[in-house]
Amino acid sequence: MTVHERSLSHYRRVVIKIGSALLVDRKSGLKSPWLDAICQDIADLKAKGVDVLVVSSGAIALGRTVLDLPSGALKLEESQAAAAVGQISLARAWSESLSHFSIVAGQILLTLGDTEERRRYLNARATINQLLKIGAVPIINENDTVATTEIRYGDNDRLAARVATMAGADLLILLSDIDGLYTAPPHLDANARFLEAVAEITPEIEAMAGGAASELSRGGMRTKIDAGKIATAAGCAMIIASGKTDNPIRAIVEGARHSWFAPSPAPVTARKTWIAGHLQAAGELHVDAGAQTALRAGKSLLPAGVRKVVGQFSRGDTVSVIGEQGREIARGLVSYDADEARRITGRKSGEIEAILGYAGRAAMIHRDDLVITGVTRKKVEGSMDNKDKANA
């Protein structure tokens, strides 16, 4: 049974991400009728017992219309000022529209550190869960008033995926101005083929991603695929669909074209979900074929299997593990600082004390702190009936 033949009510918790261009018109500002329509969709889901979270872009886009800023790229301080004005207008609009359906909205503004640092991640998750417990709809956005280029998500697709894993959602819906994934950008390639179901995000799937679609949106298909990798690894299915029509969630249920991404059949634990979802790895450990095989068998990464260390990182940081093909195969919390890791690279664990002068951990990354990011999945025929409701 496909999504066209059933409602979304069998999902327990759904995150809906909304792109700026859907909510804000460059000239006229907020698209109030569209907002009212999506709130009707949210009310319909909640009436069926589904928890709903919204990751809403639009603060900067709305703020720049209020401030009448010129078109084109904004300076950082201009973006932050636009966000400061737009966040107030956006939160008010969501609150008023949802109130028409007797739903309370709660605003949460996140920075990259709120999801990358474990303690802040757990605090944000507790706030989200409490809002859902009392029946409110969290309206989440990046805190663009304070985030700089170096410490920001830069798009709400990946933020939405992090929110989905944080909240233990089983479905992430990315609404944008494109109706799904094509084998090539359809506006550039007339032969581009639409993909209705994606069983696994492979390098070939990643290569299909295009660039940003509009001036108001910082995201593109590239960031949506990145979001898919984060969400599906945690056992969360993902849909990319067009939000151009009114009531876009209802349209999905009624058969509007969209791409569905299968969740991992073996989702990782909550702590490993947090590790896998890190956007900024502090460094890289390049490994040999033997280590790669051992990791896929559930073993720890030993110094003997590491061929090269890249970057500067501290013990406990998240690093990428790079396989022989030059692609990330895992992520984990490293047991050594970068300089120490370089000194013991390629050496046996029994030599660590003699090299470093103290008896460190035998593993460069212990298996309990490591997540495989390139899991091979069985072919999925687009069915929505897989048991993919693992709580991340």
Quick: pLDDT tens for 128-164: 999 999 999 999 998 877 765 544 555 788 889 989 9
Most confident of the ranges 151-160, 177-186, 301-310, 381-390: 301-310
What residue numbers does the annotated binding site for ATP cover? 17, 176-177
Phi-psi category of 298—alpha, beta or left, where left has phi over 0 and alpha has psi -120 to 50?
A: left
| Percent of the chain residues topping a pLDDT of 90 | 47
Look-up of token digits 């907002």: 35
Residue from 153, 145, 174, 220 nearest 54 by CA: 174
Residue from 277, 390, 287 nearest 341 by CA: 287
Could you tell me if 146 and 224 are in contact, meaning their C-beta atoms sit under 8 angstroms apart? no
Query: Does position 329 have pLDDT exceeding 70, yes or no?
Result: yes
pLDDT value of residue 74: 82
Q: Which domains does the chain have, with CATH numbers?
A: 8-267 (3.40.1160.10), 271-372 (2.30.130.10)
Segment 60-73, tens digit of pLDDT = 888 888 888 888 88
Query: Does position 310 have pLDDT exceeding 80, yes or no?
Result: yes
Q: Tell me the pTM.
A: 0.74
Strands 284-287 and 318-322 come out as parallel
pLDDT value of residue 147: 61
**pLDDT tier at 188, thresholds 50, 70, 90:** confident
What residue numbers does the annotated binding site for substrate cover? 57, 144, 156
Query: Does position 342 have pLDDT exceeding 70, yes or no?
Result: yes
pLDDT value of residue 212: 41
Query: Does position 392 have pLDDT exceeding 50, yes or no?
Result: no
Q: Which helix (H) or strand (E) holds 380?
A: none
Segment 23-43, tens digit of pLDDT = 998 888 899 999 999 999 999
Q: Where are the alpha helices (DSSP H) in the chain?
A: 20-23, 32-47, 59-66, 76-99, 112-116, 118-133, 156-167, 203-207, 221-233, 248-253, 270-276, 289-296, 338-344, 352-356
Query: Does position 199 have pLDDT exceeding 70, yes or no?
Result: yes
Q: Which helix (H) or strand (E) holds 52?
A: strand 51-56
What residue numbers does the annotated binding site cover? 17, 57, 144, 156, 176-177
How far is Cα 175 from Cα 219, in angstroms, rounded to an integer? 12
Q: Tokens representing 367?
A: 């298996």
pLDDT value of residue 358: 86
Could you tell me if 77 and 148 are in contact, meaning their C-beta atoms sit under 8 angstroms apart? no
Q: Tokens representing 355?
A: 């090299």
